[in-house]
Structure 1
Amino acid sequence: MTINSKASSQVNTRSQNLAQETSVAHKGNALSLPFMVNSTVSVDRCADATGFRTPSLRHRSLSVSHDQRVAETFLLNTRLCRHDYESEAGVQLYYTDTVTYMLANNGIETFDTTITVPLPSPARLRLSLGDCLLRRRSKRLFTGDPVRLEGLSSLLFAAAGITGIGKAPVEHGEHMVDLFFRTTPSPGGLYGVDLYVVALNISGLERGIYGYDPLRSRLSLLQGPDSVQAVLNTFAYPEEVISLSRACALLIAIGRPWKVMRKYGSRGLRYLFIEVGQLAENVHLACTALGYGDVDIAGFYDDDLNEALGLDGLANTVLHTIAVGIPAE
C-alpha cells in the first residue's frame, strides 16, 4: 500500500478523528502512532526509528518503511519466468546419460562411521488413510515411555523408505539402470533431504544421533549419547509446552539445497521445502496409525542446531524437526 495525496484525500472524517485521538493518546510513543486509512489499515510511520521491531510492527509499516523485506525478496527471486533459457538448459542437462547414471547412484553415499544398526522390517499400518486423516493431531506432551525399534523403522520408512525400482535406458537404449522410488515425492527424483534421528528412548537402540540410510535400511551412528543434550538445548520451547525430554525420538530433516538447485536454480529451494513438508505429513499419518504422538517443531535456533549436528548450515542445513513419543493426552 502506498500513501499519497490521492489516498489521503479519501480518508473519511471518522478515520481522521480516530487518528487524531490516537495521536493524542499515544503522543511520544513511536510504537503506537498509527495513521488510519479507510478505517481498516493502520500504518506505523515510525518503524524505521524503532529499535525493537516485532513482525506485527513490520507488517504495519510495509508501505512506509525502508526495512529489508527478505521473505518477499525470496519469492520474487525464485519465480519461474518465460524465456528463461538458462534455466531450461539446466533442466535439459538432467536428461543425459551422465546424469542418469548419477541418479542411479543417488543415495549410495555412506555416513562417516563404522557403527551401523540394521532396522527391522517396518510394521504394516492397519489404519485406513481416511481414518488417519480424521484422527491426526499434534501432540506436544509425552509420557516418557519407550517406542520399539520396529516402530521407529516404520516411521522412517514412511518418511523416506524405498518402495520400488524403476528402469531407465542409457546408451541409446542398449543398457538399463535402476532408479529407486521412495515414499515421499522429490523434485526430479533428486532426494535433497536426508533424515537424522536423535534417539532418546527407543527400545533396543542406544541413545545418540543417527543418520538414516534408506537404501540399506539401517541407521549409522554419528554421535554418541553425550551429544544428545546439546541438541535438545537448541530448541526454544519450554518443557511445559513441548516435553521434548520425554519424547522417544527427534526426527531432523537435513537439506542439501544445491543437490536440487543445481538443476532448478534458486527455485529449487522452494521444491526442497515442499519435499520436507510431504515427508513430515507422511510421518504424521504413520504416527497416527501406530498410536504415537508427534509434533512439528520449527522453533529451534538454526546456528546452534547445525553446530550440534556438525553441519555447516548452508551446503547441509537443518530444515525441519519432528518430535515423536507416546502421547500423554
Structure 2
Amino acid sequence: MHINPCVFILARPPHQIVWNYEQHTQFELDLHYSTRLAQLIHNPSHFDTCNPIDIEFLNAGILTAEPKEALEWRWDELSRIFHIGTKNIPCESVPQNVEEWATLYLQHCQEVLSSPPPACRIKPCPVDLIALTPCSLVDIEDVSLGQTLVSRSTSRSFSERAISIEQVSTLLYLTLGYLNERPFAHETGHPETLGARRSSPSGGGLNACEGYLYVRHVAGLEPGIYAYHPAEHALSLIRSLPDEPLGQLLAGQHFINPLPFGLFITSRFDKLWWKYEHSRAYRMAFVETGHVSQTFLMVATALGLKTWLTGALSDRQVERLLDLEDTPEQPLFFVGCGHGDGQVHCQALMALVNGQDSAS
C-alpha cells in the first residue's frame, strides 16, 4: 500500500484536514483517524485489511494500492499544489451543446447577481480627487501596431528626466480606464456592475485589476503614491514617496531607482470570489494582470518611452505602502516607464561582464 503523493494535511483544531488536491476532495480526521494515518505514513506496509479506518483511507484515495507516479516537478511543493490543484475542476454537468451552455451560464450569472457585488474599491473613494486630463490619442495615432510591437523592449537604464502628466493620463486611461469610446460601452441589457469595459480582456468582465502609481518625476504631480480611480479617471494621494528607494520595494533591483514613474498592478480577489467560487479563478488573477501589464508596455512604447516590468515584489513592504495589508486586494506585478538609453542591462552588471571578458 502507498500514500497518495497528491495529498496535504492542514491543522484545523481540533481536527486535521487531509486534502486530495488532485481530486478536489477533503476529509476531516479526528485524533483517532489522525493517529492511524500517521502510523501508515511512517510505514504503509502496516495497512490492515481488517481495520475499517484503513479501508476508508483506501476508498477515499488517501492510500493507493499501486504506486502513483508523480509528475516531474522542479519547483517547490507549493507551486505543484497550485498547478495540480487548479486543474480539472469538477463540474456537475458539462454542457453538451451551445443551448445548454447558454442556459447554465445564464443561471450562474443570475445566481451571482442575486448577491450584492463587492464595493468598487476596498477603500472608499476620497472626496479630494485629482482629475486627469481627458486622454488624447494624438501622440500615438500615427504609430502603427507593428512598429510598437517591434519597438517594445525591456530597459534597465533610466535617466532622471521627468515624464508629463498628460502621458500618465494616456497610459492610465488606455490601460485601466473604462473606455467610453468603445461602441458597446453604453449598451443596455447587461448588469451595470459588468458594464465597464477596458482595453484588456478581463475574466468574467469583472475588471479585477487596480492600479497604484509610484510617482517620482512626473511634471504636474507631486512625488508620492497614488491610487487610480478608473470610473472618474482621477487620482487620489495615498502617501508621500517613501524614504527607501524603489529597488528596495522590488526585491533589491536597485538599478531601477531612477525610474520616474511606475504602476503597481493589484488584483481584487473579492471580485473573483463573487463570481467564481473555485480556486481556478486564482489563475485568472495572474492572466488578467498579464493582459493589463502588456497594454501598459505597448502604450508606453507608442508614446516613445522606455519600459520595464517585474514580478519580484517585496510583498509585505508593497502591501504596507499601498495600504492593502490584510485585505482581499493584493499586488501582483509592477510596470514602469521613462526616458533612458534603452540598455537591456544596467551599467553595474555590464561592468562586471566586461571585466570578466577582459580578464579572460
Equivalent residue, structure 2, for 1:221: 237
Equivalent-residue separation in structure 1 for 2:323 and 2:157 (angstroms): 28
> 1:197-236 maps to which residues of 2 (within 5 A)?
197-225=213-241, 227=242, 229=244, 232-236=247-251
Equivalent residue, structure 2, for 1:311: 324
Task: Tell me the CA shift for residue 109 of structure 1.
Answer: 7.6
1:253 to 255, 265, 269: 265
Q: Identify unmatched segments of 5+ residues in structure 1.
A: 1-61
Equivalent residue, structure 2, for 1:99: 113
Partner of 1:320, secondary structure, is: strand
Q: Deviations over 1:120-158 (max 9, x none)?
A: 122312311111111111111111100000001111112
Equivalent residue, structure 2, for 1:75: 83
1:327 has 2:347 as partner: no
Q: Identify unmatched segments of 5+ residues in structure 2.
A: 1-70, 95-100, 343-360
Equivalent-residue separation in structure 2 for 1:232 and 1:327 (angstroms): 17
Task: Tell me the CA shift for residue 306 of structure 1.
Answer: 1.2
Partner of 1:212, secondary structure, is: strand
TM-score of the aligned structures, taking structure 2 as reference length: 0.63
Partner of 2:89, secondary structure, is: coil
Q: Deviations over 1:63-97 (max 9, x none)?
A: 799x96111211111124353469x9996565228
Amino acid at match of 1:214: P
TM-score of the aligned structures, taking structure 1 as reference length: 0.68
Identify if the C-alpha distance between structure 1 residues 96 and 318 changes in structure 2 by more than 3 Å, giving closer, same or farther.
same
Equivalent-residue separation in structure 2 for 1:251 and 1:207 (angstroms): 13
Identify if the C-alpha distance between structure 1 residues 305 and 106 changes in structure 2 by more than 3 Å, giving closer, same or farther.
closer
Q: CA RMSD in A?
A: 3.4
CA contact (8 A) 2:122 2:329 kept: no
Amino acid at match of 1:75: H
Q: Deviations over 1:209-233 (max 9, x none)?
A: 11111111101111123x3637652
Q: Which has the higher helix share?
A: 1
Task: Tell me the CA shift for residue 98 of structure 1.
Answer: 7.2
1:131 to 143, 147, 152: 147
CA contact (8 A) 2:179 2:199 kept: yes
Task: Tell me the CA shift for residue 106 of structure 1.
Answer: 7.1
Partner of 1:300, secondary structure, is: coil
Equivalent-residue separation in structure 1 for 2:328 and 2:207 (angstroms): 14
1:162 to 157, 162, 178: 178
State the number of aligned residues: 258
